[in-house]
Structure 1
Amino acid sequence: MGKNRTDEESPVQGIGKTLKAVRNERDFSLDQVSEITGVSKTMLGQIERGESVPSISTLWKVAKGLQLSLSTLLNNPEPEYKAVDILKDIQPVYDEEDRMVLYNIFPFDPLSGFEYFYILLQPGTVHASEPHRNAAQEYVVVTSGTLTLKLEDQEFILKAPAKINFHANIHHTYKNETGEPVVFQDIMKY
C-alpha cells in the first residue's frame, strides 16, 4: 500500500520528531511517556527515531496520554488554496492489519478548534476507540457503504449518506460488517 514517501522527510520521521519535541518540551522521559500512554518505551524510542511505523491505535494512545490532537502528531499542514487528491497526495496511517486507513485531511488548528479525517474501513474491520478526553464532539458522515457505530451500549447502523455526532469522551467502536468497503469522514471538535 505504499507506506513510505520519497520526500525529504517521511511521515514516520515527522511523527518521531514531533513526539520527541513534545516529550522534551514537557521534560518527560521515555519511561514517563510510556506510563501515561500505555505504549512501551521501546516502541516510543523506535517511533522517535523513525524506525517504526506506528499504528492508528498507537498514535491515539500517544495523543490521548499526552493530551494532544492526533493532527499534532501527524503534523501535515497543507499550504492554503491548494487542491489535493486525498488518496494520492496525503500519506495515510494504517491500523495493524492495513484494514483501517486514515487520512489526516485538515490537521488540528487551534483557531478552528477541529481536525478532519477521511477514513476507509475494509470489510470485516472492527476498530475500538478509547474516549478522547481532549475532544468535545465527534461528527461522523458516512459517504460510502454501511458503518456500524457502537457508542457505549448503543449501536447505530449508518448507511450512506448518513451522519451522527456524539460526545467523544465515551468508548466507541467503528465496524464494517458488510462485504464492501466503508468510507466515512470524521471531524473532531475540541
Structure 2
Amino acid sequence: MSGQGAIGEAVARTVRALRAGHGWSLDELAGRAGGSKGVLVGLEQGRGNPNLGTLIRISDALGVPLTRLVQVEEEPPVRMFRPERHVVLWEGEKGGKGTLLAGSDPRPSLELWRWELQPGESRASDPHVPGTKEIVYVQEGTLTLGVDGRTDLVEEGAAAVFVGDRPHSYGNATKREVRFILAVLDL
C-alpha cells in the first residue's frame, strides 16, 4: 500500500472512532468542522484527498492534534498492564486503597480500578467531564454509593452503572471490608 493510502486509511479509522466516541453524527461533525457531510463520508470511507485546511478543522472540532488524525501506526490490539504497572492512587486513613489497574488514552478513555474500603472509610470524587459513565461491581461487602445527593447500597455480587459527571462517592458504612471493581468511561 502506498504512503498516501496508508495515511488515508489512518485518517478514516481515526475520524470514525473519534466521532463515534463523541456520539456525533456525520452532520454534527460537519457542522462543528465547518465542512460538508459528503467530504466526511468520503474521508471516513478512505476515499478522497482532503486538503490540510479540512483536516485541521476536523481535528479542531474533535479536540485532537492534527498528528492524531494522520498517525499511520495503530494502537496495538493488546496492551498489557502487568502487576508492577498497577498504581495505588488513593489510600484511606484506615488502610483502604484505590488501585488503577489499566487505562486507555486518549479520549474516549477507559479506566479499570480495584478498590478496598475498610469500615468507616469513604472516598468522595469531584465530577468528571460531561458524559462520563462509571460501572461498579461489588466483590465483597456492601458499598454505599452516593451520586448527586442520592445514596444507594450496592450489595455483594451486584453491579451499578451511574453518571460520573456529577459529585459522587464510595463508602463503607459496615463493619467489614468492601472490595469492588470500578470502570470509568471518560468521553
In the superposition, the TM-score normalised over structure 2's length comes to 0.51
- Is the Cα contact below 8 Å between 1:109 and 1:115 reproduced in 2? no
1:153, distance to aligned residue in structure 2 (A): 2.2
Larger-gyration structure (1/2):
2
Residue in 1 that maps onto 2:123: 127
CA distance in 2, matches of 1:122, 1:96: 8
Could you say which residue in structure 1 is the equivalent of 2:180?
184
Amino acid paired to 1:179: K
Contact 2:103 2:109 in 1 (8 A): no
Question: Which of 90, 99, 104 is equivalent to 1:103?
Answer: 99
Equivalent of 1:144, from 140, 145, 162? 140
Query: Which residue number in structure 2 is paired with residue 50 of structure 1?
Result: none
User: Which position in structure 2 is the counterpart of 1:169?
Assistant: 165
Please show how residues 23-102 of structure 1 align to structure 2 within 5 Å.
84=82, 90-95=86-91, 97=93, 99-102=95-98
Residue pair 2:140, 2:157 contacting (<8 A) in 1 also: yes
> Alignment identity in percent?
26
After superposition, the C-alpha distances for 1:54-98 in whole angstroms (9 at most, x for unaligned) are xxxxxxxxxxxxxxxxxxxxxxxxxx57684x5x77342333625
Match of 2:153 in 1: 157
Kept in 1: contact 2:89–2:99 (CA 8 A) = yes
Kept in 1, the 8 Å contact 2:145–2:171? The answer is yes
Structure 1 unaligned spans of 5+: 1-79
Separation (CA, whole Å) in 2 of partners of 1:94 and 1:111: 23
Q: Distance in 2 between matches of 1:119 and 1:183?
A: 6
Could you tell me the TM-score, scaled by structure 1's length? 0.50
Contact conserved, 2:87 with 2:101, CA < 8 A, in 1? Answer: no
RMSD between aligned alpha carbons? Answer: 2.4
